[in-house]
Structure 1
């Protein structure tokens, strides 16, 4: 478990992180979301002792990071996939890590296989790695000590679509085994598909947190976009059921959830050709809550 309690970090007159409090539970993937410069990386650096907080504290399974013996065996960390010595090979990086943690060299082969780095790729110098390969190596290093907690900053950067899907599966399986995962990103869609809980940060402050359903409830009342073979009959049935429906493109916009529309259509015997949520989604909420941190539309 990760507990962040009232963490603040200032640099002169600039506040990078402002009274941040949240918890990451075992068995769950927590998404840490915010625009670039929102305070995600600073918060994560504080978690692992690379930056001291001005106020507040972070504990991992009840202890500060610097109090954990052989911390890489308990906490896997990936903050910057490019921060490895370019002259070393991927295998050398993992071998050094394994020996520092007191692990057998066989663990290196296990991790290379787990992140799909081939034997020939493992022998290449890191300066010749693509960003996606560096990310895979960084994830391998984070998992090397079989930790209970993973703290990953933008781990999908540089991964192709297949690599992103692989990463999601890997992290979901890790959480399903009881691990705690904190995953940061500025890309909502990347995290939405895997996170059990999401924390939104803007200008160093938490602006929203909760699971997908909780956040969607904040985005506004449910609405549905629906198209059928007989829109007039569907509109009449929806009105009789107490739902307001109005024309929208080739279909209708209805002031209720898609499930309710589907039930009305079934009862009325109307065939649906399209049924989808039409209300504000997580992306709308994300952009609304972090509007003053976005470059677009902010000239000052």
Structure 2
């Protein structure tokens, strides 16, 4: 379990994280979502002891990171997949991690197989890795100590579609076995398919939280449906007569009504529907609306803090 309690991180007059509190529960994937510069990475650096909080605290299993014995055996992290020695091979990086944690070298082979890095790839030096390969190696390093908690910052960055699907299955299976997963991203579609709960953050403040259904239910957005039929004219007339707003949209119609309402009108009018789908505001639209006034590309004058692909012992 990760408990974030009134966490604030300030740099002079600038507040990167502004009094946030939430809990990431075991057996669940918690999505930590926000635009670039929202405070996600700063919060995660506090979690693993790389950045001191100005106020508040983060505990993992009731302890601050620095108070956990051999912390990398309990908390696996991926904050920057490139933050390893570029001249070392992937196998060397994992071997050093295993020795530091007191693990057998056989664990290295297990992790390489798990993340799909071949013997040839693991023998390459990190400088010759693609971004996707670095991400796979970083995930292997995070899982090396068989931790109960995973803290991952943009883990899908650089992965191809097959790699992203693999990562989703890996993390979902990890949570299903009782692990705690905190997954940061600025791209909702990467996270919403596996996240049990989502924390939306903008300019250092939490702007919304809950599962997908709860977030959308609280948005109070107007239902919009996209429909195509064998007779769009007749369908449009029937919908207008039923009091629904209708306008042309490509080869079909955009209707201010739910899919159920459109289906019932089409049935009553004897019109065959060939396509019927929700076209209203989705989670990404809600996210953009909630964070539009807080999005920023970068914080002037702030240099990135060096981090490790795993947790230093």
The TM-score normalised by the length of structure 2 is 0.87
After the TM superposition, which residues 247-258 of structure 1 pair with which residues of structure 2 at under 5 Å, given as runs? Answer: 247-249=247-249, 250-258=251-259
Q: Paired residue for 1:188?
A: 188
Q: Does 1:285 align with 2:286?
A: yes
After TM superposition, the structure 1 stretch with the greater mean CA deviation from structure 2, 173-182 or 254-263, is: 254-263
Q: Distance in 2 between matches of 1:103 and 1:267?
A: 68
Structure 1: runs of 5 or more not aligned? none
Alpha-carbon shift at residue 105 of structure 1 (Å): 1.0
Q: Distance in 1 between matches of 2:119 and 2:84?
A: 19
Q: Paired residue for 2:120?
A: 120
After TM superposition, the structure 1 stretch with the greater mean CA deviation from structure 2, 244-253 or 184-193, is: 244-253
Q: Distance in 1 between matches of 2:21 and 2:296?
A: 26
Q: Paired residue for 1:224?
A: 225
Shift in CA distance, 243/218, structure 1 to aligned 2, threshold 3 Å = farther
Q: Paired residue for 1:205?
A: 205
After TM superposition, the structure 1 stretch with the greater mean CA deviation from structure 2, 252-261 or 140-149, is: 252-261
Q: Render the CA deviation track for 1:2-42: whole Å, top value 9, x for unaligned.
A: 11111000011000000111111122111111111110000
Alpha-carbon shift at residue 269 of structure 1 (Å): 4.6
Alpha-carbon shift at residue 170 of structure 1 (Å): 1.0
Shift in CA distance, 265/68, structure 1 to aligned 2, threshold 3 Å = farther
Structure 2: runs of 5 or more not aligned? 298-313
Q: Paired residue for 1:111?
A: 111
Alpha-carbon shift at residue 295 of structure 1 (Å): 5.3
Q: Distance in 2 between matches of 1:188 and 1:224?
A: 22
Q: Render the CA deviation track for 1:191-242: whole Å, top value 9, x for unaligned.
A: 12221211111111111111111222233132211122234554566578x6
Alpha-carbon shift at residue 136 of structure 1 (Å): 0.5
Shift in CA distance, 96/43, structure 1 to aligned 2, threshold 3 Å = same
After the TM superposition, which residues 6-45 of structure 1 pair with which residues of structure 2 at under 5 Å, given as runs? Answer: 6-45=6-45
After the TM superposition, which residues 91-110 of structure 1 pair with which residues of structure 2 at under 5 Å, given as runs? Answer: 91-110=91-110
Q: Does 1:152 align with 2:152?
A: yes
Alpha-carbon shift at residue 261 of structure 1 (Å): 3.2
Query: Does the CA contact (< 8 Å) of 1:20 and 1:205 recur in 2?
Result: yes
Alpha-carbon shift at residue 294 of structure 1 (Å): 3.6
Q: Paired residue for 2:276?
A: 275
Q: Distance in 2 between matches of 1:71 and 1:260?
A: 55
Query: Does the CA contact (< 8 Å) of 1:243 and 1:255 recur in 2?
Result: no
Query: Does the CA contact (< 8 Å) of 1:27 and 1:176 recur in 2?
Result: yes
Q: Secondary structure at the match of 2:32?
A: strand
Q: Which has the higher contact order (CA 8 A, sep 6+)?
A: 2
Q: Could you list the structure 1 runs, at least 4 aligned residues long, displaced by more than 6 angstroms after superposition.
A: none
Query: Does the CA contact (< 8 Å) of 1:243 and 1:256 recur in 2?
Result: no
Q: Secondary structure at the match of 2:38?
A: coil
Q: Distance in 2 between matches of 1:23 and 1:94?
A: 30
Q: Render the CA deviation track for 1:242-278: whole Å, top value 9, x for unaligned.
A: 6624233243333333244335545655321111112
Q: Distance in 2 between matches of 1:71 and 1:266?
A: 61
Shift in CA distance, 267/63, structure 1 to aligned 2, threshold 3 Å = farther
Q: Secondary structure at the match of 1:56?
A: strand
